[in-house]
């Protein structure tokens, strides 16, 4: 008998892509498994057209999707993430009920839910199947969240009451080999608004049957070993990464960028790109431009202007770069630099001309840079990126930093501190050092990441263990489904 997993990703392309890659791996490894991906509407209002079209393009005989509509309603203000997901539960219930009714030859084996979709655990329980969590970030960040929750529940230690900007305090986190500075805590984790949400999420993480993490055992051995120790009260953790989306499209804009890179010497170009929400003010853009010119390095720079509220207006492109940059900058650097808007990041990182990557430290971007053996210069902007920067630089020695402490967070509405041209230039020169220890370690980790996905590799073995666990659910789910009565 065939078995079915229901995947419920968070409605954001960064979360969606890695979970879809997970689905592709699972059906490739297990012939009797099929997967239904339920696309939730965006918490900003309206449907995520990009997400739906992306999954539709990947749909196959054993991977299908259903898009949940939010109707024509457009929210004037963003709905709180946890409440938004809870509001989708009745719609997801109906979708899964139809799935169960329509295909009597397939048994429901479990839910795989995104880290922000923990309210779907209750729905899985209704259907008598277990829940697994897909954690889109790294094992260290997972451990940090669990530790902060445990500190609060057991000791009433509330990180949202700390003075992040001025505190010299450090946390002893079991999942790290060194103390973690309070100043490096993600602003959303330590804010009054978000702290209760993250604490509740971490409590629910512990209810899962297993946690899939987009990481590699060889990359985060200490964090993974700590998560697996008996005193953490966490479910089994499966490091199944790196899960990367390789875009093979040949759009005209992409071809133009790659054609320019093909003319550059090997490892000579600094690539600057800052994710879906990464953007800068005119003043900060000028500082970056000065740093790039003074460094003398070739560069490819994906630049977008900042938005006063990224939840209402996504970052856009500057209308007149001549007015933003120092006078004559574009003319003086025309032979060795290229400023662009959107960037085909994976294709760029794969190009031999790239010698270093200035990044916002998003975890997908971090894994992509490691996969292609490109060292990174860390510039965290939002979410858990301050933690990612700390882990990559200080915990793992796989990146270099512009500076240790970063003020501001574009998601938390906190204005960012201006980073000077001198600081940026110094970081770029360190990043592009040809024979640095960081570059050597990144090359070694690149090989380990690739081996991990091969037969017998650590991620391959973890995936096999997960499949075995899912298979064991089928017999029990048959008994449970006989007693389920879910109405439309």
**Is 299 found in the same domain as 219?**
no
Same structural domain, 10 and 55: yes
Residue 11 within any structural domain of the chain: yes
Note whether residue 450 is domain-resident. no
Q: Output the tens digit of pLDDT for each of the chain's 488 residues.
A: 688 999 999 988 888 889 999 999 999 999 989 999 999 998 865 445 456 566 666 667 789 998 888 765 455 455 688 899 999 999 999 999 998 888 777 889 999 999 999 999 999 999 999 999 999 999 999 999 999 999 999 999 999 999 888 888 999 999 999 999 999 999 888 888 889 999 999 999 999 999 999 999 999 999 999 998 866 679 999 999 999 987 655 566 678 999 999 999 999 999 999 998 889 999 999 999 999 999 999 999 999 998 877 777 778 889 899 999 999 999 999 999 999 998 999 999 999 999 999 999 999 999 999 999 999 999 999 989 999 999 999 999 999 999 988 887 877 677 788 999 999 999 999 999 999 999 999 999 999 999 999 999 999 999 999 999 998 866 555 555 455 554 44
pLDDT at 416: 81
Look at the chain and report how many structural domains it folds into: 2
Rounded to whole angstroms, how far apart are CA atoms 137 and 384?
A: 8
The verdict on 230 and 267 lying in the same domain is no
- The pLDDT, as a whole number, for residue 44 is 67
Same domain, 217 and 73: yes
CATH number at residue 115: 3.40.50.2000
Residues pairing with 239 in the sheet: 213
Do 302 and 393 sit in the same domain of this protein?
Answer: yes
User: Which pair of structure tokens corresponds to residue 290?
Assistant: 């000065």
227 closest CA partner among 122, 150, 166, 128: 150
Question: What is the C-alpha separation between 25 and 141, in angstroms, rounded?
Answer: 24
In a domain, 116, yes or no: yes
User: Is 376 a domain residue?
Assistant: yes
Residues 6+ apart with CB under 8 A from 72: none
Same domain, 203 and 340: no
The answer to whether position 246 is within a domain reads no
Is residue 486 domain-resident?
A: no
Q: Which domain holds residue 266?
A: 252-445
Does 307 fall in a domain? yes
Half-sphere CA count of 51, side-chain side, radius 13 A: 27
Q: What share of the chain is helix, strand, coil (3-state, %, to 5)?
A: 40, 15, 40
What is 152-205 written as a DSSP string? HHHH---GGGS-TTT---EE--TTSSS-EEGGGS-TTTTSTTTHHHHHHHHHHH
Same domain, yes or no: 59 and 87:
yes
Tokens of 487: 């109405």
C-alpha gyration radius of the chain: 23
Burial of 177 (0-12, 13-18, 19+ CB in 10 A): exposed
Same domain, 142 and 203: yes
171 and 309 fall within a common domain: no
Cβ contact 322:283 at 8 Å: no
- If DSSP codes are grouped into helix, strand and coil, which group holds residue 300? strand
Does residue 488 lie in a domain region?
no
State whether 433 and 467 are in the same domain: no
Distance CA 168, CA 166 (A): 7
Dihedral angle, C-alpha 47, 142, 89, 54, nearest 10 °? 30
Are 433 and 331 within one domain?
yes
One domain for residues 56 and 193: yes
């Amino acid at each position: 008998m065939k078995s079915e997993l229901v995947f419920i990703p968070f409605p954001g392309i960064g979360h969606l892509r890695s979970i879809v890659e997970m689905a592709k791996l699972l059906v490739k490894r297990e012939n009797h498994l099929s997967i239904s991906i339920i696309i939730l509407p965006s918490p900003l209002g309206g449907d995520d057209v990009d997400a739906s079209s992306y999954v539709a393009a990947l749909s196959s005989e054993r991977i299908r999707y259903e898009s949940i509509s939010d109707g024509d309603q457009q929210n004037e203000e963003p709905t709180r993430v946890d409440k938004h997901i809870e509001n989708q539960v009745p719609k997801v219930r109906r979708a899964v009920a139809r799935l169960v009714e329509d295909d009597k030859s397939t048994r429901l084996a479990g839910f795989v839910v995104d880290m922000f979709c923990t309210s779907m655990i209750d729905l899985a329980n209704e259907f008598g199947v277990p829940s697994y969590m897909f954690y889109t970030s790294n094992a260290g960040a997972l451990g940090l969240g669990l530790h902060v929750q445990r500190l609060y529940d057991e000791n009433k230690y509330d990180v949202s009451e700390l003075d992040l900007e001025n505190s010299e305090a450090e946390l002893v986190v079991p999942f790290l080999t060194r103390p973690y500075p309070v100043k490096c805590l993600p602003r959303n984790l330590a804010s009054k608004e978000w702290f209760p949400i993250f604490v509740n999420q971490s409590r629910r993480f512990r209810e899962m049957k297993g946690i899939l993490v987009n990481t590699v055992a060889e990359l985060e051995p200490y964090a993974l070993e700590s998560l697996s120790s008996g005193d953490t009260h966490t479910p089994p953790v499966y490091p199944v990464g790196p899960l990367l989306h390789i875009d093979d499209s040949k759009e005209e804009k992409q071809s133009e960028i790659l054609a320019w890179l093909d003319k550059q010497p090997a490892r000579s170009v600094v690539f600057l790109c800052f994710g879906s929400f990464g953007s800068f003010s005119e003043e900060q853009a000028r500082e970056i431009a000065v740093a790039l010119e003074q460094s003398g390095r070739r560069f490819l720079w994906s630049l977008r202007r900042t938005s006063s509220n990224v939840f209402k207006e996504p970052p856009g492109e500057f209308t007149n770069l001549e007015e933003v940059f120092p006078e004559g900058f574009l003319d003086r650097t025309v032979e060795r630099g290229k400023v662009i808007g959107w960037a085909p990041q994976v294709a760029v990182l794969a190009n031999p001309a790239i010698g270093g990557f200035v990044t916002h430290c998003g975890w997908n971007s971090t894994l992509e840079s490691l996969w292609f053996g490109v060292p990174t210069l860390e510039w965290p902007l939002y979410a858990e990126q301050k933690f990612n920067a700390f882990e990559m630089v200080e915990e793992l020695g796989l990146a270099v930093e512009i500076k240790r402490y970063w003020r501001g967070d574009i998601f938390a509405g906190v204005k960012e501190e201006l980073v000077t041209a001198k600081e940026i230039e110094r970081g770029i020169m360190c990043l592009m050092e040809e024979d640095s220890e960081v570059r050597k370690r990144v090359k070694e980790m690149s090989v380990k990441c690739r081996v991990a996905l091969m037969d017998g590799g650590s991620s391959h073995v973890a995936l096999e263990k997960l499949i075995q666990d899912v298979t064991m659910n089928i017999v029990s789910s048959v008994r449970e489904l006989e007693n389920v009565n879910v109405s439309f």
